[in-house]
Amino acid sequence: MKKSILILGTILLSVTSCTTIVKTSKTANSPTSLLSATVADLQTVTTERVSYTMTPTAEVRRGGSANVRRAAENEMLQKFNADVLLEAQYVTTKKWTLFGTKIESITISGRPAKYNNFHSLNDSVWCNPTFRDNYEDDAKNNEGILRKLF
């Protein structure tokens, strides 16, 4: 009885595992150029550079050194109630182990800054010929301002 249940289970498992799912998708071509007309001022939270040292957990270290940097930067930005870190510098302390290196701590320094005074781009700036000389609406050619700059 047990052999027949085992054989039946093996057959059912082999039949169900042979199916494949194929998904395809396409994006629609949108021949328009995007231009954001919102600007903000950047205000530094402190006038001098600040430093923050973090000891990453094992979960953070599993993501690699870039993940450790992002986690340290996020904690620092939350501590100083800032949006972006200017002139960031990272110093990591690594320990050699049998299976490779382990990041013991990371010290990040920089100038925390905050975005404020969000406003739409008014006509006095937008109509300035110096500002508008480089902008061409190439929506019909499937090109935009970003393709020309980069």
Residue pLDDT, tens place only, 19-33: 556 666 666 666 665
Helical H segments across 1-150, by residue range: 2-16, 58-61, 65-80, 123-126, 129-132, 145-149
**Mean pLDDT in the chain?**
76
**Amino acid, res. 11:** I
Q: Structure pTM?
A: 0.55
pLDDT at 41: 79
Which of the four pLDDT bands, split at 50, 70 and 90, describes residue 116?
A: confident
Q: What domains can be seen in the chain, in order of their start residue?
A: 44-119 (3.30.110)
Rounded to 10 degrees, the C-alpha dihedral 89/93/96/101 comes to: -40
Q: Phi, psi (5° rounding) for residue 123? A: -65, -30
**Amino acid, res. 68:** V
pLDDT tens digits, residue range 70-104? 999 999 999 998 999 888 899 999 888 888 888 89
Question: Are the C-beta atoms of residues 110 and 49 closer than 8 Å to each other?
Answer: yes
Which residue has better confidence, 22 or 38?
Answer: 38
